[in-house]
């Protein structure tokens, strides 16, 4: 008799005897005859029946009869090995809700007419490998072993919220298509093992929020599609192992907010797509291992690592998200174990953040943390370059916030000076370089002035003396000197300037020599007193004298400014806090 025969209603739970199901189909009779031996495991060739075999009595088995064989009754005791069956076409609803079954249920390569119901059931292992099902309703299922669906084909939703699994949920190579948008619903599920979906083809969303796993979430090579929606939701998940997405293709948002993984998050060769939205959100997620992003990994959408804690990062520059699609604010990581570690490359990495897209002007923390990591790895120069860039961008953001044009101009001038002289306090020794530069320039200016006679003694007594005043006249000229009531002849030879003439006078032999290097240093260093300024000063009455005098004042101001900036730079006063 085929499966079209009258069946007991769902209210007739746990029939008292097999007689209730007579007459049996050929497949049912075979099962009943051999199942007690514990070695029966297939109908026909054991392969999953095709659609045209629906009415084949050699394959058709009523779900209610299977329930009796699984649960047992007063007149029928199930074998200790449990039910193992393959190649069956199962009609009706296999309803095991609330049942306690201390044996395995193995229904491999079967085709189900309706979704099995295992809500609140307690079992050992459930094997549905290679079977075709309209779905699975197993809310709050408790299994001492695993829930295996390898290679199975589902055309409806798999529901296991609140389930407790002693092993792993295995869906390697499975095909799951759900018309309501959610393919696997496992909110709050617990498993001592992991969730394995290697090579699976899933058309619909996966919900693993608040799940507790002792192993991995492994979707290596899987294809998950839910365009425009959340394709993988792991909010609050706690897994002792990895999130393995190697080679996976996910269309839709992959979201894991506040999750925790004891291993790695591996996106090697993965393709995650959510145009205009979040491709991967690891916001506030803790990753004890490493985050892998390499070997052609591609994002179309935003990679959100806001407030994420990562043990280490192993990435490749070619795999970084496009500009505007990276969020790193408050992200913390221990080191780079692969990928570039130079400042130029990592600044390019940070520049892919666009704070204005998220209604912010600048995020300093990613730069500060990058510099800390580079410094801890021994790349001090690269760390300094990162901090200098951070200061420049942060100050630019501060100027942008200034409403007053005068204040904005003042800040711009101040920032420009700090950038040129101290690199915003990150390279205070640069002020010494500027001091050396102006020392050299001043030495040249004052040397030329001395050679051309644009310097003069810085002594009123000398300037009133005959040896100085008469050197301003040629020997053919004379001048009346009121101080001595005498007419004195000039002392300068033809073509000789006053300073040269003075230096040739016997009376000037005791006057200190002019040294352009020491004079420039004396002018430049405000706290030092070398003694040159006390004896020499630019003469504004001579050719080139006005320029030299103006430069004298300029170098004095620059000396004070650079000295103060150097002190402030070394003390950290000019750094942004």
pLDDT digit string (tens) for the chain, length 577 residues: 344 444 444 433 444 577 778 888 888 888 888 776 666 678 888 888 887 777 788 889 999 999 988 887 655 566 667 788 999 999 999 999 999 998 899 999 999 999 999 999 999 999 999 999 999 999 999 999 999 999 999 999 999 999 999 999 999 999 999 988 999 999 999 999 999 999 999 999 999 999 999 999 999 999 999 999 999 999 999 999 999 999 999 999 999 999 999 999 999 999 999 999 999 999 999 999 999 999 999 999 999 999 999 999 999 999 999 999 999 999 999 999 989 999 999 999 999 999 989 889 999 999 999 999 999 999 999 999 999 999 999 988 888 888 888 888 888 888 788 777 777 777 777 888 888 999 999 999 999 999 988 999 988 888 888 888 888 888 878 787 776 667 778 787 887 888 888 888 888 888 899 999 999 999 988 777 888 888 899 998 888 889 999 999 999 998 888 888 877 777 766 666 5
Amino acid 344: pLDDT: 95
Per-residue pLDDT at 417: 80
Tell me how far apart the alpha carbons of residues 121 and 114 are, in angstroms, rounded to a whole number: 18
- Whether 323 and 196 map to the same domain: the answer is yes
326 with 352, same domain: the answer is no
Residues 385 and 310 in one domain: no
- Give the model's pLDDT for residue 461: 86
* 407 found inside a domain: no
- Secondary structure (3-state) at 171: coil
Distance CA 333, CA 483 (A): 84
Q: How far is CA 230 from CA 133, 274, 321, in A?
A: 24, 9, 19
Residue 353 shares a structural domain with residue 269: no
Last residue of a domain, one of 360, 383, 401: 401
Range of the domain at 71: 1-134
| C-alpha closest to that of 488 among 504, 468, 507, 466 | 466
202 and 294 housed in the same domain: yes
User: Do 277 and 187 share a structural domain?
Assistant: yes
489 and 512, same domain (yes or no):
yes
List of residues 6+ apart from 215 with CB closer than 8 A: 168, 191, 192, 193, 194, 195, 239, 240, 241
Please report whether residue 185 resides in a domain.
yes
Give the span between the Cα atoms of 123 and 120, in whole angstroms: 10
Domain contains 159? no
For residues 313 and 348, state if they share a domain. Answer: no
**420 found inside a domain:** no
Query: Of 339, 361, 389, which closes a domain?
Result: 339
The pLDDT of residue 214 is 96
The partner residues of 253 in beta bridges, in order of sequence, read 230
User: Does a structural domain hold residue 289?
Assistant: yes
Kindly state whether residue 237 falls inside one of the protein's structural domains.
yes
Residue 449 sits in the same domain as residue 346: no
Residue with tokens 């994002």: 299
Residue 537's beta-bridge partner residues?
456
Six token digits for residue 238: 């706690």
Three-class DSSP category at 473: coil
335 shares its domain with 345: no
Of 76, 102, 134, the position where a domain reaches its end is 134
Q: Are residues 316 and 353 in the same domain?
A: no
Tell me whether residue 27 is in a domain.
yes
The whole-angstrom separation of Cα 388 and Cα 248 is 39
The count of domains in the chain is: 4
Task: Please check whether residues 40 and 110 belong to one and the same domain.
Answer: yes
* pLDDT at res. 53: 72
Half-sphere exposure of 84 (CA within 13 A, CB side): 15
CA-to-CA distance for 55 and 136, rounded, in angstroms? 23
| CB neighbour list of residue 367: distance below 8 Å, 6 or more residues apart | 350, 386, 387, 389, 390, 393
Structural domain contains residue 158: no
């Amino acid at each position: 008799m085929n499966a079209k025969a009258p069946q007991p209603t769902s209210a007739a739970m746990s029939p008292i005897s097999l007689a209730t199901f007579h007459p049996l189909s050929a497949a049912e009779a075979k099962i009943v005859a051999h199942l007690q031996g514990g070695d029966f495991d297939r109908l026909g060739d054991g392969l999953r029946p095709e659609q045209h075999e629906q009415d084949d009595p050699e394959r058709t088995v009523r779900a209610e009869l299977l329930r009796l064989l699984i649960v047992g009754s007063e007149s029928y005791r199930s074998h200790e090995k449990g039910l193992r069956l393959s190649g069956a076409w199962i009609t009706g609803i296999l309803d095991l809700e609330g049942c306690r079954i201390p044996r395995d249920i193995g229904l491999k390569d079967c085709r189900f007419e309706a979704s099995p119901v295992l809500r609140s059931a307690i079992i050992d292992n459930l094997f549905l490998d290679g079977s075709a099902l309209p779905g699975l309703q197993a809310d709050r299922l408790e299994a001492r072993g695993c829930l295996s669906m390898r290679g199975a084909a589902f055309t409806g939703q798999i529901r296991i919220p609140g389930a407790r699994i002693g092993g792993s949920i295995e869906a390697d190579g499975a095909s799951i298509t759900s018309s309501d948008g959610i393919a696997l619903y496992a909110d709050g599920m617990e498993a001592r093992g992991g969730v394995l979906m290697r090579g699976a083809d899933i058309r619909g969303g996966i919900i693993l929020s608040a799940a507790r796993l002792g192993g991995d979430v492994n979707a290596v090579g899987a294809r998950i599609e839910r365009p425009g929606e959340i394709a993988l939701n792991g909010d609050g998940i706690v897994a002792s192992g990895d999130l393995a997405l190697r080679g996976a293709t996910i269309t839709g948002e992959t979201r894991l907010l506040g999750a925790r993984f004891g291993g790695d998050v591996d996106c090697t060769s993965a393709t995650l797509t959510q145009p205009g939205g979040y491709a991967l959100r690891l916001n506030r997620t803790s990753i004890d291992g490493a985050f892998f992003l390499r070997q052609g990994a591609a994002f179309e959408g935003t990679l959100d690592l806001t407030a994420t804690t990562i043990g280490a990062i192993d990435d490749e520059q070619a795999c970084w998200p496009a500009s505007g699609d990276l969020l790193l604010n408050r992200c913390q990581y221990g080191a780079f174990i692969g990928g570039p570690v130079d400042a130029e490359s990592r600044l390019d990495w940070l520049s892919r953040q666009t704070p204005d897209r998220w209604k912010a002007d600048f995020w300093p923390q990613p730069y500060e943390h990058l510099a800390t990591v580079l410094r801890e790895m021994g790349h001090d120069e690269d760390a300094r370059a990162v901090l200098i860039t951070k200061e420049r961008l942060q100050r630019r953001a501060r100027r942008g916030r200034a409403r007053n044009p005068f204040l904005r101009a003042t800040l711009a001038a101040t920032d420009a000076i700090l950038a040129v002289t101290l690199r915003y306090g990150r390279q205070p020794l640069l002020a010494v370089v500027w001091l050396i530069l102006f020392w050299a320039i001043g030495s040249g200016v004052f040397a030329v002035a001395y050679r051309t006679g644009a310097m003069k003694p810085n002594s009123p007594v000398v300037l009133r003396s005959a040896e100085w005043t008469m050197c301003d006249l040629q020997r053919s000229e004379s001048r009346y000197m009121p101080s001595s009531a005498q007419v004195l002849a000039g002392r300068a030879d033809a073509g000789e300037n006053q300073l040269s003439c003075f230096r040739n006078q016997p009376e000037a032999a005791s006057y200190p020599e002019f040294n352009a290097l020491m004079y420039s240093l004396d002018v430049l260093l405000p706290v030092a007193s070398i003694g040159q300024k006390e004896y020499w000063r630019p003469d504004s009455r001579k050719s080139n004298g006005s320029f030299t005098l103006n430069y004298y004042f300029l170098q004095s101001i620059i000396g004070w400014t650079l000295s103060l900036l150097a002190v402030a730079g070394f003390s950290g006063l000019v750094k942004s806090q």
